[in-house]
Amino acid sequence: MRLATCLVRRFPILLISLVCPLSLYAEVPDGWHISNEASADFEVGVTKGTNDSSVGYVRSVVDEPSGHGGFMQKISAADYRGVRLRYSGAVKTLDVEAWAGLWMRVDGPAGERLGFDNMSERPISNSTDWGRYEIVLDVPKHAEAIAFGVLLVGAGEVQIDNLRFDGVGEDTAESAGEESEIPSKPSNLSFEE
């Protein structure tokens, strides 16, 4: 009895986690999976948001996380071939030290990247209220798959809700812009520009 009392006083969190291991860890939302490159310094799950609705989240579980955390889905591109596709959603951040964002990638038949945007050029950081964010990419006729999700780099938390896919017209610019395209000629070879 004395040993049990000593253990409870010295290691209460350890004992709770041994008795109820699932209570300390979030579950990946149905239909989603953890991003392949995600660090163990993050957790993903579902929590209650505004008006008691469910929202997905990624949060750091250590003070100085390495890499990034996130969750994703990968779907067939068949229904979206030849379409300019907008992936959008409501995003809220809490104390994000580096950055967070939605991301989308269009893959070709051999797994090659045909389009990609992870919002790194327009990052969401610090604490923000709910806002609508979007990514727009062309899905070529030979595309095979579309991967999409949310990511968090550094400490903090990102929440997402009300995600959508919409076909848009050519008057809507691709979000990755010219930076995602391969230049036709070399530039600044003398490093003077």
Return the pLDDT at 20.
Answer: 33
**Whether the predicted pLDDT of 103 surpasses 80:** yes
Residue 36: pLDDT band with limits 50, 70, 90? low
| pLDDT over 60 at 181, yes or no | no
pLDDT at 49: 79
Q: Is the pLDDT of residue 168 over 60?
A: yes
Closest CA to 92 of 25, 35, 150, 39: 150
Q: How confident is the model at residue 153 (pLDDT cuts 50, 70, 90)?
A: very high
Res 192: pLDDT:
61
Dist CA 90 CA 54 (whole Å): 12
Amino acid at residue number 119: M
* Topology of domain 26-177, CATH: Jelly Rolls (2.60.120)
Average pLDDT over residues 136-152: 97
**Distance between CA 145 and CA 80 in Å, rounded?**
9
CB 145 within 8 A of CB 110: no
The residue length of the chain stands at: 193
The SS3 of residue 22 is helix
Give percent above pLDDT 90 in the chain: 65
* Tokens found for residue 139: 């899905």
What is the number of alpha carbons within 13 Å of residue 49 lying toward its C-beta? 19
Domain ranges of the chain: 26-177
- For residue range 64-99, list pLDDT tens digits in order: 999 899 999 999 999 999 999 999 999 999 999 999
Chain centroid offset of residue 59 CA: 11
| Kind and range of the H or E run holding 18 | helix 12-19
